[in-house]
Amino acid sequence: MLLFTSRYQRFRIGQGAPVRTTVAGARFPLGYELAGHAQLITPTWALVKLDHEQAYRELYRARLDGAGVDAIAEELGDIAHNAGTDRLVLLCFCDLSVPPPDAWCHRRMFAEWWQQCTGEDVPELAEQPPALLF
């Protein structure tokens, strides 16, 4: 299974199966159907309300550690199986192009944790360049 991260707004069909990792769903039309909701890596409402990165990081990591890599892998594997692909794109709302100190997000914290636990890289998908008109 190959994992990637991105924003709801940046995801493009063909990049993999789009997976929700947010407490709330998008309140805008996505233009694609989600393959599932990775609940074990979704932060809680209490976490979402935190605006201090280090506190968030510690509590979110404790949430991931509590769920465990095996259970998370099983949940993601089930989503991939149901979607008929081995490529999942874990989505949230955060815009990582904003300047520090606001350029942090649970999807990249998850990617770091996953890499530490499994040795597998979880790249952030790059912005797709606009198509040339001529």
Residue 48 lies in a domain: yes
Q: Is residue 65 part of a domain?
A: yes
In a domain, 46, yes or no: yes
Task: Tell me the residue range of the domain where 72 lies.
Answer: 2-115
Please state, in angstroms and rounded to a whole number, the distance separating the CA atoms of residues 76 and 38: 7
In a domain? residue 121: no
Is residue 8 assigned to a domain?
yes
Element (H, E) at 7: strand 2-7
Q: What is the DSSP letter of 32?
A: S
Q: What is the pLDDT along the chain (134 residues), one digit of tens a residue?
A: 999 999 999 999 999 999 999 999 998 999 999 999 999 999 998 988 888 889 999 999 999 999 999 999 999 999 999 999 999 999 999 888 877 777 789 999 999 999 999 999 999 997 554 455 54
The count of C-alpha atoms lying within 13 angstroms of the C-alpha of 46, restricted to the half-sphere facing its C-beta, is 4
| 133 domain-assigned | no
Task: Compute the half-sphere exposure of residue 128: CA atoms within 13 Å on the CB side of its CA.
Answer: 12
Residue 22 placed within a domain: yes
At 18 the three-state DSSP class reads strand
| pLDDT score of 127 | 59
Query: What total of structural domains would you count in the chain?
Result: 1
Q: What is the pTM of this model?
A: 0.90
- Answer yes or no: is 16 within a domain: yes
- Peptide bond preceding 101 in cis form (omega within 30 of 0): yes
For position 39, what pLDDT does the model report?
A: 97
